[in-house]
Amino acid sequence: MRRYSLHLYPVLVGALAIALAAALGITLGAPAARAATVTVQAESYAAQSGVTLETTADLGGGQNAAYLADGDWMRFDQVDLGAAGRLTVSARLASATGTGSVELRTGSLTGPLLAVIQVSPTGGWQTWATRSADVTTHPTGPQTVFAVLRSTTPGDFVNINWFSFVSGGDEPAPGWVDVDQAKWQAQLNQFRAMTPAPVPANAVRVPEFNATCTYSHSKPDDPIVFPGLPGASHMHSFFGNKSTDAFTTTQSLLGTTATSCTPAKDLSAYWIPTLYERGKAVEPDGMIVYYGSRLPDPTATVPFPQGFRMIAGNAKLQVATPAGSPNQFWCAGPGGETGRSADGNWPLCAPTAKLVYQLVFPDCWDGKHLDSPDHKSHVAFTYDGKCSGAYPVAIPSVSFVISYPTSGSADGFSLASGMASSIHGDFFNAWDTAALGQRVKDCIVQSAKCNSAGTF
């Protein structure tokens, strides 16, 4: 039975406040000089209405706030929002079917709106995902923060494990990562000295090679966005290097020879948000990573530097994707698409067809950085058929073609990141430089279609 009660706790002061706050899971502090991070466990509220606590299956254990419906709320005292400037507010959420939002307000239930965090199905009531919102203007220092639940659908729609507040301009990423120019130049010299393989007369004149991958494992980790923070991300499905986790680095990838991709010389890591159907994870039955070129003249294309990484798509984009929208999931196989899910956002496939998505990455690089704060600013898509300006270096055009062993239903699907529009992918390069360079030289520069073995 749902409880609608009000629980008040005494005000905590002095050293006792610090000790009890730690016991309740409230961490106030600055782990780095450039930022302050506050993590507030949902069960540590000072007051609430409509909240039930239950044991959580999320990483770290403890309890989560459960059975939350429209109008329920929690109050948290002495939440330090830091100094003026950028603030990122995140919530650790789980939802089987619900949609709605969490309003964070300061001072009172109807006080100034601090942030709104959108809620969409994560795949289950104990399938956890982290959702965030960025704030540019906010109160500073310790504040009373109310979390107010909003939904237009009746009944419970979300569970919450914790909130975090990152102030002072902090990014969860390492920021700009410079390429080692000496190593990059040596890799370029090796590439330019390679002799291209003769192209047979019957070769298909398409600049392309690929890596054929199977599903490896799943974790709520993202070594590009949340390096060194296990469990900080929504659930991801990983392909390629079997060691990939929150602590992955270029060195760790190169030091592991186990991969779910062919060729074995590709030790790169690839990942996407996990897909859920009726609360159950549906892992892809395969993914082909295509390396090609969309340039009219691909002869200037060079391989990626070792340790290069980038992201395509937007995990925070939560918009409807009705039939005819760009960047759709689609149906591959006989019969194709036969209809749409009840919400209109997903295709229904014939029993002889499968759900498929193709994710395309940028193909021009600034030539200076292995990564950027948003993991996108060091790369760009081809403009006017060439790479120029701030992005003068042509790199292979990477695309993931992801196939799922399902035809779908009227219930549709959800991603660990939310709606279909939030589909995104990560690429962390760890190819053997000679193997990658030879494929770029033979297949892309010569505009000849190659297989995963790098042969015509």
Q: DSSP labels for 289-346?
A: EEEE--SS-GGG--PPPTT-EEEEE-TT------TT-SS--EEESTT-EEEE-TTSSS
C-alpha to C-alpha distance for 415 and 420, rounded to whole angstroms: 7
* Residues 205 and 87 occupy one common structural domain: no
* Residues 114 and 206 occupy one common structural domain: no
**Cα distances (Å, whole numbers) of residue 110 to 25, 104, 113, 145:** 26, 10, 8, 11
* Residues 315 and 189 occupy one common structural domain: yes
Q: What is the pLDDT of residues 320-342, one digit of tens each?
A: 999 999 889 999 999 999 999 99
Give a yes or no: residue 8 inside a domain.
Answer: no
Per-residue confidence in pLDDT tens, the chain, 456 aa: 333 333 333 233 333 333 333 333 333 333 333 446 788 999 999 999 999 999 999 877 899 999 999 999 999 999 999 888 878 898 999 998 878 999 999 999 999 999 999 888 887 899 888 888 878 789 999 999 999 999 988 999 999 999 999 886 434 445 899 999 999 999 999 999 999 999 999 999 999 999 999 999 999 999 999 998 888 899 999 999 999 999 999 999 999 999 999 999 999 999 999 999 998 999 999 999 999 999 999 999 999 999 999 999 999 999 999 999 988 999 999 999 999 999 999 999 999 999 999 999 999 999 999 999 999 999 999 999 999 999 999 999 999 999 999 999 999 999 999 999 999 999 999 999 999 999 999 999 999 999 999 999
- CB contact at 8 A, 104 and 40: no
Report the pLDDT value the prediction gives residue 215, as an integer from 0 to 100.
98
C-alpha to C-alpha distance for 188 and 305, rounded to whole angstroms: 9
Q: Which of 138, 167, 196 is the last residue of a domain?
A: 167
Provide the domain count of the chain: 2
* Residues 154 and 228 occupy one common structural domain: no
Angle 255-260-263 from CA coordinates, rounded to 5° = 80
Report the pLDDT value the prediction gives residue 6, as an integer from 0 to 100.
34
Omega into 263 within 30° of 0, i.e. cis?
yes
* Residues 298 and 234 occupy one common structural domain: yes
Global pTM value:
0.69
Q: Which of 167, 192, 226 is the last residue of a domain?
A: 167
Question: CB neighbours (10 Å) of residue 402?
Answer: 26
* Residues 434 and 415 occupy one common structural domain: yes
Give a yes or no: residue 452 inside a domain.
Answer: no
Report the pLDDT value the prediction gives residue 98, as an integer from 0 to 100.
76
Report the pLDDT value the prediction gives residue 118, as an integer from 0 to 100.
87
Give a yes or no: residue 31 inside a domain.
Answer: yes
Give a yes or no: residue 51 inside a domain.
Answer: yes
Phi-psi region of 375 (alpha: psi -120 to 50; beta: other; left: phi over 0): left
Domain ranges, residue 66: 14-167
Report the pLDDT value the prediction gives residue 378, as an integer from 0 to 100.
96
Report the pLDDT value the prediction gives residue 168, as an integer from 0 to 100.
65
Give a yes or no: residue 451 inside a domain.
Answer: no
* Residues 194 and 317 occupy one common structural domain: yes
* Residues 59 and 193 occupy one common structural domain: no
* Residues 82 and 225 occupy one common structural domain: no
Give a yes or no: residue 3 inside a domain.
Answer: no
Give a yes or no: residue 455 inside a domain.
Answer: no
CATH number of residue 45's parent domain: 2.60.120.260
* Residues 26 and 112 occupy one common structural domain: yes
* Residues 273 and 359 occupy one common structural domain: yes
Report the pLDDT value the prediction gives residue 88, as an integer from 0 to 100.
84
Q: Which of 167, 187, 216 is the last residue of a domain?
A: 167
Say how many residues make up the chain.
Answer: 456
* Residues 156 and 220 occupy one common structural domain: no
Give a yes or no: residue 123 inside a domain.
Answer: yes
Report the pLDDT value the prediction gives residue 174, as an integer from 0 to 100.
56
